Amino acid sequence: MKTKSKQLSKLLKSMQFGAMALLCSAILFSCSSGENDATTANTQEESGLAHHAPEAAVEDDGKGVGPVTSVEVGAEVDQALAANGKSIFEGKCSACHQLSDQKVVGPGLAGVTGKRKPEWVMNMIINPEEMTKKDPTAKKLLAEHLTQMTNQNVNEQDARAILEFLRQNDQSI
Ligand code: HEC
């Protein structure tokens, strides 16, 4: 009888130990690999987002996304350059854009050189698909107009001429 109760208490003890061990590992497991991971993932995601927002704001220098990072524009409109831009505009842009503030397919372009930086205007002309994906202002325009501006295969030089033409257009209003 004595040995039996000893054995029993031994058994109970080992069962208790086993249960404790099981409980501990269950807690550990749920902490380390379960919820904890999910919370870590969430916080990482959240902090990632929080991190991105100011970054995007810093990145948006108003110059848009594309090859043009810096343009020199004179105080006066270069009339010869603007005339060149006018003929390119008429061939490649006027189907979708008015020079007034009237929308056709795209927004009317009156006042655009006052609203946007010259680099932005040129990047929009040269690189419209990437602009409407990445530039916050161009994204908004796409959301309003619901048509993607097409890439008209305008090189940097011609885009510069169009910019001058749009500057001339804005000076005459
Ligand atoms: C197929 C129609 C289409 C053609 C062709 C087109 N655009 Fe656009 N353009 C748009 C649309 C639509 C938008 C608004 C953004 C969007 O939805 O993609 C836009 C936006 C713009 C903007 C920004 C206007 C603003 O308010 O900031 C400029 C500048 C511009 N286009 C210039 C041009 C020039 C210059 C050409 C010719 C080389 C041209 N576009 C050819 C449709 C067109």
Query: Contact at 8 Å (CB) between 60 and 134?
Result: no
Residue nearest to atom 12 of ligand 1 (CA): 106
CA of 41 to the centre of ligand 1 (A): 41
Provide the pLDDT for residue 60. 86
117 lines ligand 1 (CB under 6 A): no
What are the CB-based long-range contacts (under 8 Å, 24+) for 8-15?
none
Which of 92, 124, 126, 162 gets mutated to test ligand 1 (max ligand atoms within 8 A of its CB)?
124
CA of 72 to the centre of ligand 1 (A): 22
Over the chain (173 residues), the average pLDDT of each successive run of 10 is 59 58 49 45 46 57 97 96 98 98 97 98 98 98 98 98 98 75
Direct distance between the N- and C-terminal alpha carbons of the chain, in angstroms, rounded to an integer: 111
Closest CA to 63 of 147, 121, 119: 119
The residue type found at 98 is: Q
